[in-house]
Amino acid sequence: MSEASPLLVVGSVALDSVRTGQGERVDALGGSASYFSLAAVRYCPVRLVAVVGADFPSGFRQLYDAQGVDTAGLQIVEGKTFRWGGVYSEDMNDRETLFTELNVFEEFHPVLPDAYRQTPIVLLANIDPVLQKEVVDQMESPQLVALDTMNFWIESRKEELVSLLTKVDLFFLNEEEARQLTGYSNTLTAAKEIMAMGPKMVVIKRGEYGSLCLTSEGWFALPAFPVENLTDPTGAGDTFAGGVLGYLSQRGGDLTDGHLRRAVAHGTAIASHTVASFSVDGLLDLGLDQIESRVRDLWDVTQFGQRP
């Protein structure tokens, strides 16, 4: 195996207040970049670019350090940290956003430390597409640019998002967002439509039904790995992306079909660990051996002998 390439992530670092059938957490560590980086760091060095307010608990900063995430790009400014609140339906398939308080993100402009500009793989995690573009513009010929987004930004910044897609290699979004972006309710049709907007690969996340991955060579689908102790689905998508890109970075960003399929299996496996606990708790003690063991379990339950 080649040396793992570092990954750069820009996205939200948040204090999340979440209610599910299993309980409630207030001001827990969350945000797209938190989930992503704490998943991807299982595989490779991770560089975090984000902003928090002066109210951000020092214990959460120490947690990144203890987990090995490079926080040289995490700005701490006057004001309040981004806050998001959500409540899940009984079966956890639906969620309602109760509030989105951008706070310090209103004035934030990412500035990449010089040492970060040549990072080969970058994830533009869920955040304002205007800020995502500012990061791409500061990168020096990245090998792989991946993007994630959310209904909030498709509603408020569609034009900026669509224009950014021409600079993106791999686009992660969920089924509802794909529908919202294209107007097509058929997942495969929507994925094809999105590919035509620029990305070389599109991964559509389908919650408990798994994911569908479209490349120029065709499509590939995997179910989610079912867990009985589903506790908090928040961050499943971000940790899925962390597993996918973490695995690819260990392979030097090689995007051949087999690598991509195994990368999606890793994303699926790590997401199944995240949702079994609140906040990022399911990631903190997770070893690569446990993720690989779940990838094997996923293989066991999806294969049905030799090709019929």
List residues near ligand AMP by CB under 6 A: 12, 14, 16, 30-32, 84, 100, 126-127, 150, 152, 234-238
Nearer to ligand AMP, 127 or 291 (CB): 127
Cβ closest to ligand AMP, residue 95 vs residue 192: 95
Cβ nearer to ligand AMP, comparing 4 with 154: 154
- 245 and 11 Cβ atoms separated by less than 8 Å: no
Q: What residue is closest to ligand AMP based on CB? A: 30
Q: How far is the CB of 30 from ligand AMP (least distance, A)?
A: 3
CB of 129 to ligand AMP, least distance (A): 10
Q: How far is the CB of 150 from ligand AMP (least distance, A)?
A: 5
DSSP string of 33-46, one letter each residue: HHHHHHHHTTTS-E
**What is the DSSP track for 41-84?**
TTTS-EEEEEEEETTS-HHHHHHHHHHTEEEEEEEEESSPPPEE
Structural contact between residues 69 and 85, judged by C-beta atoms closer than 8 angstroms: no
Judged by beta carbon, residue 71 or residue 149, the one nearer ligand AMP is: 149
Phi and psi angles of residue 299, each rounded to the nearest 5 degrees, phi first: -65, -45
Quick one: three-class SS letters along 101-124?
ECHHHHCCCCCCCHHHCCCCEEEE
Q: How far is the CB of 149 from ligand AMP (least distance, A)?
A: 9
Number of continuous H segments (helices) and E segments (strands) in the chain: 11, 13
CB nearer to ligand AMP: pick between 103 and 126: 126
Rounded-to-integer distance, Cα 73 and Cα 37, Å = 13
Helix (H) or strand (E) holding 211: strand 211-215
Smallest gap from residue 28 Cβ to ligand AMP (A): 9
Shortest reach from residue 167's CB to ligand AMP, in Å: 19
Which residue shows structure tokens 């996205």? 11
**C-beta of 98 vs 196, nearer to ligand AMP:** 98
